Amino acid sequence: MEINIEIELIKKFLVITGVSILSGILIGLEREVRHKPAGLKTITLVTVGSAIFTFISKYGFSGSAADSSRVASQIVNGVGFLGAGTIIRSGLKIKGLTTAATLWIAASIGMVIGSEKILEGILGSLIVFFAITILRFIEKLLYENLGIFYIKVKYNLESTQDNLNYQSIFEELKNKLHEINIEILETTEIKDGVILKLKGSKNKVKTELNEKLKSENYNIKLYELNEF
């Protein structure tokens, strides 16, 4: 069997894989620093894999039946499965949405690079990196200015009676929050408790945890924004 070595094609392949590796590292850096499920290695592999698949769809098949768009659609489907695996829901908390979206955008950047749009791929990677970094800062600043935060309330089953009405416990907490000017925006029931989205002074809640908000019927945990 004769093996044809196309030097120009090899050069293109090396450029594409090299650029896609660098782009994946750039996009995955923020996720890795924040210790997310899909970090540096995963996002880099997704970027490189998408680039290689796109490159193969362009040069690896020939004939009238060849259709490179089929490969592209399968990349999108495959990344969708990967993204779904990073999303976890627990009560009000939904973790992994940003990581899933990052995998999705990393695959699209890889496809751009694989189609030999090198400059566009590099620019896209830079845009994504700065978007993730800057938007995280803006989101945190916005929440702090609006005074929005979350608390998790777990009912203390050991200190309660079997016939205790959980609603009365919630009303007790609601009245205490009202006394310190904290507004309840959303309520989500969980097993043996509730998660509340609040508006007001988070520092005030911290101060009153062991005073006005203290009760033998429940325990309160403050959530940070980065836990969501």
**pLDDT on residue 89:** 60
Containing 153, the helix (H) or strand (E) segment is: strand 148-155
| Nearest alpha carbon to residue 160 among 190, 192, 188 | 192
Exposed, middle or buried by CB within 10 Å (0-12, 13-18, 19+), for 165?
exposed
Give the domain ranges of the chain: 7-143, 147-227
Has residue 2 got a pLDDT over 60?
Answer: no
Helix/strand/coil (H/E/C) assignment for every residue in 92-130: CEEECHHHHHHHHHHHHHHHHHHCCCHHHHHHHHHHHHH
Sign of the torsion formed by the C-alpha atoms of 36, 42, 48 and 54: negative
Mean pLDDT of the chain: 80
| Cβ proximity of 44 and 110 under 8 Å | no
Rounded to an integer, what distance in angstroms lies between the CA atom of residue 152 and that of residue 150? 7
CATH 2.40.160.20, domain 147-227, yes or no: no
β-pair partners for 186: 197
> 169-227, pLDDT tens digit by residue?
788 888 888 888 888 888 877 777 788 888 888 788 878 877 777 777 777 877 655 44
Comparing 34-48, 57-71, 90-104, which segment has the lowest mean pLDDT?
A: 57-71
Can you tell me the mean pLDDT for 52-74? 75
Kindly report the number of other CB atoms within 10 A of residue 13's CB atom.
Answer: 17
